[in-house]
Amino acid sequence: MPKPVVGFIGLGIMGRPMAIRLLEAGYELVVYDIDSKPEEALVARSAERGVSPKDVASRARVIITMLPDTQDVEQVVFGLEGVLGGIQEGSTLIDMSTISPLMAKRIAETAANAGFEALDAPVSGGDVGAQKGTLSIMVGGKQETFDTMLPILRVLGKNIVLCGENGAGQIVKACNQILVGVTIAGLAEALTLGSKAGVDPAKIVQVLSGGLARCGVLENRGMRMAEGDFEPGFRCRLHYKDLRIAISAGQDYGVSLSVTAIVHEMFKEMVLSGRGEYDHSGLLSLVQDRASINARKPR
């Protein structure tokens, strides 16, 4: 069976390497981004350029969106030149952004009424995971649709789990962002305490990585934090947004997220202090400020 033409909308830090992986796997790609530079980079690799989300949807059988926030997805899907205006019956829309579970459900309900399929499939793993195709992908939707789209998802990730019906993928992503954010905050405090006491942060990372505290944050961000390298792989402003979604979900389901709320406020402070473009591990700089330690800035 020939591979379907894939439309890819959103070519940022995560979307661009994901789209490249699909090209390298032999998929024909139609791409669109509000910034022409990443579009040009993909076109140079044999992708075709779309003039709008509507145009992309009319030319592809699988449409993937990878966008910053709920309102961006809403505009791209439901807007005047949105996906809904061009999507073909029998096509599949896979939203890999991190957005409100309620929006994911709205898209799925629209899909059911309009004759196409929809999956919410947010990811974890950052820019490195996007480049290597090792993303963790948490999916919400029908089993049959999931099974059909699995070959495409396997190009992009390794740990791919159908979590439940539409919206479940976004709920699990909120859970993921809670744990990642709280862990970054904890590591930031640990490194700051050790540094203020005169211990080499690299030694702290080395020791913690071999004990019960070892985790993905230590593995992927530990040494960068120790070196004060906050070049963005996943930006603070986006983690701030993700925790806002998690807190909103907590309100919807009657779950107290008191620790998450504290970390959410820390990311808010990062944004308000002009550090929203730092990598989320840059939360260390905020804790260091409070301890009167000079942090390095992104290169």
Nearest to 154, CA basis, from 172, 140, 133: 133
If one counts every other C-beta atom within 10 angstroms of the C-beta of residue 227, the result is 12
Active-site residue, from 3, 54, 142, 173: 173
Q: Are 20 and 9 in contact (CB under 8 A)?
A: no
- Cα–Cα distance measured from residue 194 to residue 180, given in angstroms and rounded to the nearest whole number: 21
- Cα–Cα distance measured from residue 243 to residue 178, given in angstroms and rounded to the nearest whole number: 7
If one counts every other C-beta atom within 10 angstroms of the C-beta of residue 279, the result is 24
**CA torsion 103→177→276→31, rounded to 10°?**
-50
Rounded to 5 degrees, φ, ψ at 69 are -150, 170
- Cα–Cα distance measured from residue 10 to residue 152, given in angstroms and rounded to the nearest whole number: 17
Active site (annotated) includes residue 158: no
Q: Are 65 and 95 in contact (CB under 8 A)?
A: yes
Q: Are 219 and 208 in contact (CB under 8 A)?
A: no
If one counts every other C-beta atom within 10 angstroms of the C-beta of residue 13, the result is 17
- Cα–Cα distance measured from residue 250 to residue 177, given in angstroms and rounded to the nearest whole number: 13
Q: Do β-strands 135-140 and 123-124 pair in parallel, antiparallel, or remain unpaired?
A: antiparallel
Catalytic residues: 173
